[in-house]
Amino acid sequence: MSTTAPAAGERPTIVLVGHGMVGQRFLEALAERGLTATHRVVVLCEEPRPAYDRVQLTSYFSGRSPEELSLTDLAFIGEHGIELHLGDPAETVDRDSRTVTARSGLVVGYDVLVLATGSYPFVPPVPGKDAEGCFVYRTIEDLLAIEEYAKGRAGSGAVVGGGLLGLEAAGALKGLGVDTHIVEFAPRLMPVQVDDGGGAALLRTIEDMGLSVHTGVGTQEILTDAAGAVTGMKLSDGSELATDMVIFSAGVRPRDQLARDCGLTVGERGGIAVDEQCRTVSDPHVFAIGECALAADGRVYGLVAPGYEQAETAAATIAAAEASFTGADLSTKLKLLGVDVASFGDAHGTAEDCLDVVYSDSRSGLYKKLVIGRDGTLLGGILVGDAEAYGTLRAFTGSVPPVSPEQLVLPAGAGAPAQLGPSALPDDAVVCSCHNVTKGTIRGAVTDHRCTTVPEVKKCTKAGTGCGSCVKVLGQLVTAELEAGGIEVDKGLCGCFAQTREELYEIVLALRLTSYQDLLDRYGREEARGGDGCEVCKPTVGSIIASLAPAIGADGYVLDGEQAALQDTNDHFLANLQKNGSYSVVPRIPGGEIAPEKLIVIGEIARDFGLYTKITGGQRIDMFGARVEQLPSIWARLVDAGFESGHAYGKSLRTVKSCVGQTWCRYGVQDSVRMAIDLELRYRGLRSPHKLKSAVSGCARECAEAQSKDFGVIATSNGWNLYVGGNGGATPRHADLLAQDLSDAELIRLIDRFLMFYIRTADRLERTSTWLERIPGGLDHVRDVVVHDSLGICDELEALMAAHVSHYRDEWAETINDPEKLARFVSFVNAPDTPDPVVAFVPERDQMKPDLPLLSIGLRRPAGEDVLEGSAQR
């Protein structure tokens, strides 16, 4: 056993037990106060890797590596001489001798001990909880184990717990291809954060994703086979659920055993009791921060923002500065299974004599509730499905907003005036709750510290460096402050062009420019002229030239000449690149209507090339797994059978979905299939700032879900209603009614105008939903331009669309007949006949799926190299 207690005259020692997010923030706070220069700092870490972003843990399953999740800059550790021991947790504390003994036998003496041991997952004491196939969801190692088990042994899985982590775990299982169940004892999902209305909206959206939710029931037993592996669950209502694996995510408990063992006071329900300086009530030499600490207000805080504040309080106290932690904002904003969920302030309305203002649209999964005091004070709220206003609303909590509560919850296009922006916030409003940064501090960073960009303000104030939910508001405040100070804000497309996308569109159209290089050399920033451009402006200008090709006399084919060099990977090969390096093949099936002969052709091609086939939500058939050199052969057969490119790879029209309409359905009032086919064939190949989706429903029952599309059409007994600006993606938005009871000709004329006006004025990669909310005047302005021709440009918009329609050519039909174009479809230019060896597959459900190796776990330390000291890092 070795001892590293400081000898007389040595620097005092701070020992930190635990190196999670809060522990790392404590180290940074020590460094900011100069304590790493005056003290020896030793960290005992149980996990085999330094601190990482546990809030974003689930992003591992969407491709984010452990290295990318890391919060630890090893150069910082080395620069400040911090001794970081990985995989060597503290096992005992001797408060009399002031030493800590680690698992390895290392004994470290301390002057100050800081416990940041966090929490552990609560696993209900049910029979079978330790069976093979049972997991918790807490660390990267847990995720690696879940991924490995699901990959080879699980077709179905169940998550016990429908709270924050439970829903994240369910999303991870779903992403692994596992049929997923969620079991929640409370009567609704996320019972702590949302009320019954919010829970209902969340439930509908999650069930629409294909997950099975069981609320109001508990887990009684985990069922196993003779080998001890999970086969199912018995629930408290007597039912049984077949499942191959179980993830427990039923809450957490403070990790306070180390404190208990050394005699520190803990709370009745757990947590190391501390005072307002985060010093333990039992020992002035010991502090506790984060999820293991029972704060002076009697609460254990399970969010990262209060933990950061406790870390800063402890560091300040150690530095003999005045600081206190008296409580924290429990507001939170998350994206769970792609659904925005947020709560702030007194979300459940516990204050006496308060009122609720509620907007609910269960069909779209939207729920917004504000809790208002009798005097108009905003006390709190809940947002499900659309948390765009979270940053502003949370900052207004505790004050009377300058507009009525109704204006704060109504969505754009639902009769609400312009939404309240962050510029209306008072200076003392907290914008970043993670680091307690006010609007006034952000303004000061711009005016006093000369910060001119969001990254500079982040570095100066720490705002936006925590959970990240305030970054959008931060950007708006920085821009507003710069403009208020008379400083010109660079709104250029990129470092190559000072113009916006809209301005570049107008230049290309007015001057009939057909060359990117010509545009760059004539209108690019001086330092960019003569160069090659960048990854932002090249595809953007390529899209502009393609969308205007007939009008400006350009060749609209994306792989001709200079245009080919402007395209990204997908457009370069006219196919969507998949995660294992293969490509998808997506022929167009207008309106979802397809003859049996064409179905047979698709089946034969998929069989002959060994492709995975799937019917999409847009009513067409995807074929996955094609190697790049196979694409021309596949498309030659498809084109010969009458198919054309579905443009799944391009920023262009994807699909026009339809129901069967009056032809078959007894409720239909118009021929929705015919209209959907007409629209898809009219707008196919139309290049735009972002992808476009559409749908046509034959009656108000809306089976085609037209109101979640960029432009959607719903039949009425008098014609068609046109909706625009919808989005069913990551930020769902209900489309707005632009015009109603239109004839066929009127409908097509308005869609022509709407699409060309959007293409003309939208920003790069801006969906119609975002564009409609950003453009000055919003829907009313768009209606004035498109319907009433207020700008006098509708003839031009219609002419541009007519030129596109008359000049349309199928990209794949042209490609397969041109040997020069076919030459690009190889994995290796210097070995064109060699297939990519990385592209491999394994069988699954009578088809195949990519054979992907597990991601590297990274940052493991070999034995004997788990101590990072300053001298070793310099």
Q: What pLDDT digit, counting tens, does each position of 473-492 carry?
A: 787 888 888 878 777 777 78
**pLDDT at 869 > cutoff 50:** no
Rounded to 5 degrees, φ, ψ at 112 are: -130, 130
The residue with greater pLDDT, 195 or 104, is 104
pLDDT for position 701: 87
Q: Are 222 and 131 in contact (CB under 8 A)?
A: yes
pLDDT bucket at 9, cuts 50 / 70 / 90: low
Q: pLDDT tens for residues 629-673? A: 999 999 999 999 999 999 988 899 999 999 999 988 888 899 999
pTM greater than 0.85: no
Residue by residue, DSSP assigns 822-872 as HTT--S-TT-TTPPPTT--EEEETTEEEE--PPPP------TT--EE-HHH
Alpha helical stretches, state H, 641-792: 672-683, 744-761, 768-774, 778-786
pLDDT for position 328: 79
- Do the annotations mark residue 659 as ligand-binding? yes
pLDDT for position 62: 64
Q: pLDDT tens for residues 219-254? A: 999 999 999 999 999 999 999 999 999 999 988 899
Q: Helix axis angle, 454-461 relative to 471-484, nearest 10°?
A: 110
**pLDDT at 828 > cutoff 50:** yes
Cα separation of the two ends of the chain? 29
d(C-alpha 652, C-alpha 644), whole Å: 14
For the chain, the average pLDDT equals: 86
pLDDT for position 743: 95
pLDDT for position 830: 65
Least confident of 461-470, 574-583, 608-617: 461-470
**Given phi > 0 = left and psi -120 to 50 = alpha, else beta, which region is 238?**
left
Residue by residue, DSSP assigns 51-93 as -B-STTGGGGGGT--HHHHB---HHHHHHTT-EEETT--EEEE
pLDDT for position 730: 64
d(C-alpha 739, C-alpha 722), whole Å: 5
pLDDT for position 476: 81
pLDDT for position 616: 83
pLDDT bucket at 44, cuts 50 / 70 / 90: very high
Percent of the chain with pLDDT over 90: 48
**pLDDT at 874 > cutoff 60:** no
pLDDT bucket at 411, cuts 50 / 70 / 90: low
pLDDT for position 400: 86
Q: Which of 356-365, 387-396, 700-709 has the highest mean pLDDT?
A: 700-709
| 196: exposed, middle or buried (Cβ count in 10 Å: 0-12, 13-18, 19+) | exposed
Q: pLDDT tens for residues 584-634? A: 899 999 989 999 999 999 999 999 999 999 888 888 999 999 988 999 999
**pLDDT at 1 > cutoff 60:** no
Q: Are 545 and 495 in contact (CB under 8 A)?
A: no
Q: What are the structural domains of the chain? A: 13-120+254-318 (3.50.50.60), 134-250 (3.50.50.60), 501-567 (no CATH), 573-806 (3.30.413.10)
Q: pLDDT tens for residues 289-331? A: 999 999 999 999 988 889 999 999 999 999 999 999 988 777 7
**pLDDT at 215 > cutoff 60:** yes
Q: Which of 102-111, 170-179, 473-482, 606-615 has the highest mean pLDDT?
A: 102-111
Q: Are 186 and 92 in contact (CB under 8 A)?
A: no
Nearest to 383 by CA among 393, 395, 398: 393
pLDDT for position 307: 92
**Overall average pLDDT of the 213-223 stretch:** 94
Q: pLDDT tens for residues 754-809? A: 999 999 999 988 999 989 988 888 888 999 999 999 899 999 999 999 999 999 98
**pLDDT at 859 > cutoff 90:** no
> If you search the block for the tokens 């009567």, which residue do you land on?
187
**Overall average pLDDT of the 720-737 stretch:** 87
pLDDT bucket at 459, cuts 50 / 70 / 90: confident
**pLDDT at 716 > cutoff 80:** yes
d(C-alpha 288, C-alpha 278), whole Å: 6
**pLDDT at 27 > cutoff 90:** yes
d(C-alpha 264, C-alpha 282), whole Å: 6
The residue with greater pLDDT, 46 or 74, is 46
**pLDDT at 566 > cutoff 90:** no
Q: Which of 66-80, 94-108, 192-206, 360-374 has the highest mean pLDDT?
A: 94-108
Percent of the chain with pLDDT over 70: 92
